[in-house]
């Protein structure tokens, strides 16, 4: 399970680092596959885990990357790349990842952490997602960051509690599926209306 | 809570929305409005007993249905004024939004409340997207992104809490408020603090508490006006009361640093101050009311932060009065912006001459919002001050009192400009006549 956590963390770093939106699609799909594997391996296989794992694969490994890929295909090449990551983002990323060790040190005595290494990868992935949402400028990069943070949260739940209750897991998947669909639809309409995919240009509403 | 059946109310508008796809006639809009009103009356009748007992869930439920009913009636006129809006899509999302609000009001479990609040973000976000212009798209993007990130922070708090109590093997019922009440003292202190901070900040984002409020003025000003009424009048309050229910369920000693009541007092006071200051510089009629909502939610949070039964009842009273007044004012703002073809405050002038009856209603609404006695909010605000005084919260009293004075000044200034001719335009004319 720790290996899956490490791979997910590396994919989160890949998402942060990559400027090409097509790579983002593959990184997100990879995270979706890893999460479904994690669902199937973290608990004894039952009908419920099979359903949750399949739902994860469909929503996070298929639906969300698929929607992004579909919308990217319709856009000219200039809109399929993000701006370079600002230098400060690299420094902040290193700092927040290092800060996770301190969090583990603080929470250690409470006994709440079941898998310390997995907890590290999960919290580090969430932090990387937060850095990405602030540093990245492409509309779809922001959507990818949101999905990456949510993926990190699922791993965090595994590292702390083994798994979330099925009801919540399925609720989260439905919620994320709807949110991603709406945001892809919005990206398309913003691109149509403003001929941009840069969030910096969304500055009309101020004050 | 045995009133989960109330969630069935939005099913009919959802079906009608599907009918509207093929047969779009305005008669169906009235059918939805009549149905929503009947639901309000029926639910109110069936829940009268807990309602007169002052049970929070019953009050939240009935206020939600009341504002949904007024929103449905206002939608009839609003859709007529905005023929480009697809009615079947509008009512489809509107029904789901109403269902989400009812879900929040009825949730007896923190995880359930989280899902309902997030669902309300998506459905109301979709309604803003449906408006379709550049401003609306920008507002919807910020709204969904910021609210979702905020709610994820809240979810991290829930995960920590669930992990600490999972030895009970209760599944998602672990996060029932009743269970939390009994088990919270068994959670490690650092996890208690972490979970509280994350949950208050997460749901506080949806409640529009400062400093998590940045999405609110954009979303509330760009949403269709009947939806702005529901967002401002109901959703903010329901999100705040989700925090309050959690804080109430996990009692901590008064004055504990970063405890629930402490955080509510800090964020509440900040919201009142920032909301009031922002009112002075607003140029858009709906943004003005959006900032007023931040200030009003701040007052509710300050009251809830006191943690006593009386203060919590006053926060609830403030919620009820604010829901009725603010939703009405938002509906009015929507029609005014159509009448004047603008949302710019400086162009919405001379209402008294143009529409005297409307001007009177408008004046009553704004003055009620400004806290002019004997209108409702003045009463609840005064009682909240009394509670603050009894708890020796003098700094909070000073800040809130100064802010409410500013609010009164700002709202009455804008009201006078609305009612009479543009005073800026009159000033040079008067000066010129004096010279002559």
Point out the residue among A149, A168, A205 whose CB comes nearest to the CB of B139: A205
Mean pLDDT lowest among A10-24, A100-114, A171-185: A100-114
Q: How far apart are CA B112 and CA B272, in angstroms?
A: 29
Across the interface, whether the CB atoms of A182 and B125 are under 8 A apart is answered yes
Say which of A139, A142, A165 has its CB closest to residue B172: A165
C-alpha B150/C-alpha B426 separation (Å) is 46
The alpha carbon dihedral of A168, A171, A173, A179 has a sign of negative
Question: Do the chains contact at A164 and B217, CB–CB below 8 Å?
Answer: no
pLDDT value of position A161: 86
Asked if the Cβ–Cβ distance from A157 to B159 is below 8 Å, we say yes
Q: Scanning every residue of chain A, which has its alpha carbon at the shortest distance from the alpha carbon of B159?
A: A157
Contacts of B152 in chain A (CB under 8 A): 146, 149-150, 153
Where would I find the beta strands (DSSP E) of A106-157?
A: none
pLDDT of B24 reads: 67
Q: DSSP assignment of B19-72, as one string? A: HHHH---HHHHHHHHHHHHHHHHHHHHHTHHHHHTT-HHHHHHHHHHHHHHHHH
Quick check: is B269 in a domain? yes
B412 found inside a domain: yes
User: pLDDT tens string for chain B (436 positions)?
Assistant: 456 777 788 988 888 888 877 776 778 889 999 999 999 999 999 999 999 988 999 999 999 999 999 999 999 999 999 988 889 999 999 999 999 999 999 999 999 999 999 999 999 999 999 998 888 999 999 999 999 999 999 999 999 999 999 877 788 888 999 999 988 888 898 999 999 999 999 999 999 999 999 999 999 999 999 999 999 999 999 999 999 999 999 877 666 778 889 999 999 999 999 999 999 999 899 999 999 999 999 999 999 999 899 999 999 999 999 999 999 999 999 999 999 999 898 888 888 888 888 899 999 999 999 999 888 899 999 999 999 999 999 999 999 999 999 999 999 999 998 888 655 555 555 555 555 5
Chain A residues with beta carbon closer than 8 angstroms to that of B107: none
Tell which of A113, A183, A192, A195 to mutate to test the B interface (max B CBs under 10 Å). Answer: A183
Query: Distances from the Cα of A38 to the Cαs of A5, A34, A118, in angstroms?
Result: 9, 6, 11
Q: Mutating which of A175, A177, A195 best tests the B interface, going by the most B Cβ atoms within 10 A? A: A175
Closest-CA residue of chain B to A139: B141
Residue contact B160–A160, C-beta within 8 A: yes
CA distance A165 to chain B (A): 6
Q: What separation in angstroms does the CA of B388 have from each of A8, B266, B397?
A: 50, 14, 7
CA A153/CA A123 separation, integer angstroms: 8
Q: Look at B162 and A186 and tell me if their CB atoms are within 8 Å.
A: no
For residue A154, give both structure tokens.
């699922």
The more confidently predicted of residues A152 and B4 is: A152
* Best of A110, A144, A188 to mutate (most B CBs within 10 Å, chain B): A110
Q: How much is the average pLDDT of A48-58?
A: 93
Name beta bridge partners: A20: A81
Residue B431 lies inside a defined structural domain of this protein:
yes
3-state secondary structure of B344: strand
Residue for token pair 């959507």: A143
Rg from Cα positions in chain B = 22
Number of other CB atoms surrounding residue B392 within 10 Å: 9
Identify all chain A residues contacting B283, using CB atoms and an 8 Å cutoff.
Answer: 207
- For chain A, helix (H) and strand (E) counts, in that order, are 8, 0
pLDDT of residue A205: 60
Tokens of B55: 């049970």
Q: Which residues contact B47 (CB under 8 A, 6 or more apart)?
A: B3, B58, B61, B62
B352 occurs within a structural domain: yes
d(CA A1, CA B177): 33
Query: What is the reported pLDDT for B16?
Result: 83
Distance CA B3, CA B9 (A): 12
Give the pLDDT of residue B252. Answer: 76
Whether residues B145 and A107 touch (CB distance < 8 A) is answered with no
Q: How far apart are CA B111 and CA B56, in angstroms?
A: 19
- Look up tokens 């939608």; give the residue: B75
Which of A179, A204, A206 is the best substitution to test chain B (most B C-beta atoms within 10 A)? Answer: A179
Question: What whole-number distance in Å separates Cα of residue A132 and Cα of residue B281?
Answer: 33
User: Residue B391: left if φ>0, alpha if ψ -120 to 50, beta else—which one?
Assistant: alpha
d(CA A201, CA B274): 26
**Closest C-alpha to B112, from B250, B7, B237, B267:** B7
The distance of A60 to chain B (nearest Cα, Å) reads 17
The pLDDT score that the predictor gives to residue B428 is 56
Decide if B137 and A189 are in contact by the 8 Å CB cutoff: yes
Question: In Å, how far is B357's CA from the nearest CA of chain A?
Answer: 32
Contact between A107 and B190 using a beta-carbon 8 Å cutoff:
yes
Residues of chain B in contact with residue A156, where contact means CB-CB under 8 angstroms, are 156, 159
Nearest chain B residue to A193 by CA: give it. Answer: B134
Report the greatest alpha carbon distance in chain B: 87
Pick the residue of A171, A181, A195 with the most B CBs within 10 A to test the interface with B by mutation.
A171
How distant is the Cα of A77 from the closest Cα of chain B, in angstroms? 23
| Number of domains chain B is built from | 1
- Please judge whether B145 and A161 are an interchain contact, meaning their C-beta atoms are less than 8 angstroms apart: no
CB-CB neighbors (< 8 A) of B190 in chain A:
106-107, 110
User: Which residue in A has a C-alpha nearest to residue B138's C-alpha?
Assistant: A202
CA distance A15 to A19: 8
What pLDDT score was predicted for residue A171? 92
Q: How far is CA B317 from the centre of its chain?
A: 14
Residue B221 and residue B224: Cα distance in Å, rounded?
8
What residue numbers bound the domain in which B257 lies? 153-435
CA nearest B118 in A: which residue?
A175
pLDDT for the residue numbered B392: 93
Facing A193 at nearest CB: one of B125, B134, B188: B134
Look-up: residue for tokens 């699922």? A154
Cα(B28)–Cα(B110) distance, integer angstroms: 37
Task: Identify whether B70 is part of a domain.
Answer: no
Query: pTM of the full predicted structure?
Result: 0.92
The answer to whether position B88 is within a domain reads no
pLDDT of residue B28: 84
**pLDDT reported for residue B251:** 76
Instruction: Return the pLDDT at B253.
Output: 65
B162, A110: Cβ pair inside 8 Å? no
Predicted confidence at residue B381, as pLDDT, reads 94
Residues of A in contact with B125 (CB under 8 A): 182
């Amino acid at each position: 399970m720790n290996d899956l956590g490490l791979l997910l963390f590396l994919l989160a770093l890949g998402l942060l680092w990559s400027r090409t939106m097509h790579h983002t699609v593959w990184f997100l799909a990879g995270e979706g596959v890893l999460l479904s594997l994690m669902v199937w391996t973290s608990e004894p296989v039952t009908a419920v885990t099979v359903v949750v794992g399949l739902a994860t694969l469909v929503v996070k490994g298929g639906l969300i990357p698929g929607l992004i890929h579909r919308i990217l295909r319709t856009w000219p090449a200039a809109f399929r790349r993000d701006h370079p990551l600002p230098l400060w983002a690299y420094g902040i990323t290193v700092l927040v990842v290092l800060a996770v060790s301190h969090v583990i040190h603080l929470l250690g005595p409470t006994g709440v952490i079941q898998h310390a290494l997995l907890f590290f990868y999960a919290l580090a992935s969430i932090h990387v997602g937060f850095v990405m949402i602030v540093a990245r400028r492409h509309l779809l990069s922001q959507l990818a960051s949101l999905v990456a943070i949510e993926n990190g949260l699922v791993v965090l739940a595994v590292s702390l509690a083994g798994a979330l209750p099925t009801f919540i897991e399925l609720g989260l998947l439905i919620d994320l599926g709807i949110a991603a669909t709406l945001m892809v639809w919005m990206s398309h309409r913003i691109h149509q209306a403003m001929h941009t995919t840069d969030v910096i240009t969304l500055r009309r509403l101020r004050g | 809570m045995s009133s989960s059946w109330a969630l069935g109310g939005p099913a009919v508008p959802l079906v009608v929305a599907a009918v509207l796809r093929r047969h779009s006639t305005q008669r169906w809009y009235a059918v939805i409005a009549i149905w929503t009103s009947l639901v309000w009356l029926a639910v109110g009748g069936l829940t009268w007993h807990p309602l007169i007992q002052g049970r929070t869930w019953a009050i939240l439920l009935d206020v939600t249905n009341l504002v949904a009913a007024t929103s449905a009636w206002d939608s009839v006129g609003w859709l007529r004024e905005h023929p480009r809006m697809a009615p079947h899509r509008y009512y489809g999302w509107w029904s789901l939004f109403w269902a989400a609000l009812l879900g929040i009001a009825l949730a007896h479990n923190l995880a359930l409340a989280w899902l309902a609040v997030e669902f309300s973000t998506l459905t109301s976000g979709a309604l803003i997207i449906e408006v379709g212009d550049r401003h609306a798209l920008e507002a919807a993007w910020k709204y969904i992104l910021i609210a979702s990130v905020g709610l994820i922070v809240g979810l991290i708090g829930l995960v920590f809490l669930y992990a600490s109590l999972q030895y009970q093997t209760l599944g998602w019922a672990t996060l029932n408020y009743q269970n939390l009440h009994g088990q919270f003292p068994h959670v490690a202190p650092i996890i208690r603090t972490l979970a509280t901070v994350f949950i208050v900040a997460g749901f506080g984002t949806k409640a529009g508490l400062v400093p998590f409020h940045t999405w609110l003025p954009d979303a509330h000003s760009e949403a269709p006006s009947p939806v702005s009424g529901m967002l401002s009048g109901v959703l903010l309050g329901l999100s705040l009361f989700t925090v309050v229910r959690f804080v109430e369920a996990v009692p901590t000693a008064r004055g504990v640093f970063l405890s629930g009541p402490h955080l509510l007092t800090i964020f509440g006071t900040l919201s009142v101050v920032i909301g009031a200051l922002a009112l002075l510089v607003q140029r858009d009629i709906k943004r003005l009311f959006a900032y007023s909502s931040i200030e009003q939610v701040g007052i509710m949070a300050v009251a809830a932060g006191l943690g006593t039964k009386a203060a919590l009842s006053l926060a609830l009273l403030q919620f009820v009065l604010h829901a009725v007044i603010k939703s009405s004012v938002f509906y009015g703002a929507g029609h005014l912006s159509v009448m004047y073809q603008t949302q710019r405050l400086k162009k919405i002038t001379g209402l008294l001459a143009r529409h005297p009856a409307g001007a009177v209603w408008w004046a009553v609404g704004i003055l009620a919002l400004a806290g002019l006695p004997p209108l409702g909010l003045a009463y609840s605000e005064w009682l909240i001050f009394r509670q603050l005084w009894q708890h020796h919260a003098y700094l909070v009293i000073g800040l809130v009192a100064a802010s409410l004075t500013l609010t009164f000044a700002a709202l009455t200034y804008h009201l006078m400009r609305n009612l009479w001719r543009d005073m800026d335009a009159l000033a040079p004319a008067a000066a010129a006549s004096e010279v002559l």
